[in-house]
Amino acid sequence: MVRVRLDVGGWHVVVTGEHAVLPEGMTHLPDRAFRMRTTLVSVAFPHSLVSIGSCAFHSCSALASVALPAGLTSVGDGAFYHCSALASVNLPAGLTSIGQQAFDGCSALASINLSAGLTSIGSSASVTSIGDRAFSGCSTLANVALPASVTSIGDSAFSRCSALASISLPAGLTSIGKHAFWGCFALSSVDLPVGLTSIGNYAFCGCTSLRSITLPAGLRSIGQEAFKGCSALARVAFPAGLRSIGFCAFADCSALARVTFPAGLTSIGQQAFYRCTSLASISLPGGLTSIGWHAFSSCSALAHVTVPTTAKFDASAFFTDTVVLRLPPAKMRTLKRWYEAVDLARLERLGWRGAQA
């Protein structure tokens, strides 16, 4: 068996075949120390180790497991990036920081428990966040328990974690970033904490097993395509504080049969409920001022819509074969002027059946 002595940041590291032994006394493993060592299967870490540098094990595709020492406090950006054989990792209780993309592409990683003392994932600063792409592409990761200290989840943090079935979100969470859970096909339910104020663009897009979602009272906005393609989602109750629903936010939610809009809602974005083919009836709130282009278009089961006087929209917002609009007289006059300004034959071809007061 080949035995090699490497100089790593001034330390002598012994590599025997597929196994590396880091010397006692080493406190920091330098950046890119074992980058692209595709035959490395295991590493023995010293008790003295405090930090692992950026890209230290980047693309070590044979690395199967790591036992991190109890004194470790930080794991750098991309430290275990694309370690595609890494099936398990223990994160010590004293760990406080995990860098961006630290475990991105670890497609064999099945579970991970984050320590209660963790204050930063994906950021060099000591903040309570999970950063961009921190666990993206961990396709066998099935469950995640986040510590109570986490207040934000970054862009694509858990995107493409296709086996992720459940996640416990801490009570102090206030924001969920873009694509945070995009493509988490196994995720069936999510309880969002009461302090959450925003859901980013594409946050739960394509979560095809998602059947229920609890939207908290403090939520103010839902980003574009946030729940697009959640084809199992059957019902959504929007909280009283919600002000806007973004572009395509619930498009292609084919099982969505019932929605309840809050009185304070002011804006529904373009194609927000496009092709929600189970949606049969909606009543829009009095404070609504804007309904986007094709917001409820291709909702083939939609038969009745009640629209307030305040809402600004054109007929394309509700194009289906059967819809009947219930409108106040002032809104009827507005639509009459709209009819006179467009090609009525084209409207007939699109299946517009008119409106009722």
User: Which tokens in the block code for residue 115?
Assistant: 């320590």
pLDDT attached to residue 234: 92
Longest dimension (CA), the chain: 88
Is 130 in contact with 157 (CB distance < 8 Å)? Answer: yes
The per-residue DSSP string of 104-129 comes to TT-TT--EEE--TT--EES-SSS-SE
pLDDT attached to residue 328: 54
Q: Are strands 19-21 and 11-16 parallel, antiparallel or unpaired?
A: antiparallel
Q: How far apart are CA 64 and CA 204, in angstroms?
A: 30
Task: Tell me the per-residue pLDDT of 281-296, one tens digit each, with 9 for 90 and over.
Answer: 888 888 888 889 899 9
- Tell me how crowded residue 326 is: count the other CB atoms within 10 A of its CB: 14
Least confidently predicted of 3-17, 116-130, 156-170, 340-354: 340-354
Is 223 in contact with 245 (CB distance < 8 Å)? Answer: no
Task: Tell me the per-residue pLDDT of 197-212, one tens digit each, with 9 for 90 and over.
Answer: 989 999 999 999 999 8
Residue 152, phi-psi category: left (phi > 0), alpha (psi -120 to 50), beta (remainder): beta
More confident residue, 318 or 327: 318
Tell me which range, 64-78, 119-133, 325-339, is most confidently predicted by mean pLDDT: 64-78
- Phi, psi angle pair for 28, to nearest 5°: -135, 125
Cα angle 129, 155, 214 (rounded to 5 degrees) comes to 80
Q: What is the mean pLDDT of residues 36-52?
A: 93
More confident residue, 328 or 256: 256
- Phi, psi angle pair for 348, to nearest 5°: -65, -40
Q: How far apart are CA 15 and CA 10, in angstroms?
A: 15
Q: What is the mean pLDDT of residues 239-250?
A: 94
Residue 345: pLDDT band (50, 70, 90) is very low
- pTM of the entire predicted model: 0.71
Q: What is the mean pLDDT of residues 47-54?
A: 95
- Tell me how crowded residue 39 is: count the other CB atoms within 10 A of its CB: 11
160 has pLDDT over 50: yes
Q: What is the mean pLDDT of residues 90-107?
A: 84
Number of residues in the chain = 357
Residue 323: pLDDT band (50, 70, 90) is low
Is 293 in contact with 318 (CB distance < 8 Å)? Answer: no
Domains and CATH numbers, the chain: 29-35+47-184 (3.80.10.10), 188-357 (3.80.10.10)
Q: How far apart are CA 139 and CA 199, in angstroms?
A: 23
Q: Classify 225 as helix, strand or coil.
A: coil
Q: What is the mean pLDDT of residues 14-34?
A: 89
Tell me which range, 239-253, 293-307, 322-336, is most confidently predicted by mean pLDDT: 239-253
Task: Tell me the per-residue pLDDT of 262-287, one tens digit each, with 9 for 90 and over.
Answer: 989 999 999 999 999 999 888 888 88
User: Which tokens in the block code for residue 209?
Assistant: 């097993």
- In order of 31, 196, 327, the CA distances from 153 in angstroms are 25, 11, 42
pLDDT attached to residue 123: 43
127 has pLDDT over 60: no
Sign of CA dihedral 37, 42, 44, 49: positive
What percent of the chain is predicted at pLDDT more than 70? 81
pLDDT attached to residue 335: 53
For 148-274, where are the alpha helices, taking DSSP H only? Answer: none
310 has pLDDT over 70: yes
Q: What is the mean pLDDT of residues 109-118?
A: 65
Q: What is the mean pLDDT of residues 321-339?
A: 52
Residue 116: pLDDT band (50, 70, 90) is low
Place of tokens 């991190």: 68
Q: Are strands 198-199 and 212-214 parallel, antiparallel or unpaired?
A: unpaired
Residue 119: pLDDT band (50, 70, 90) is low
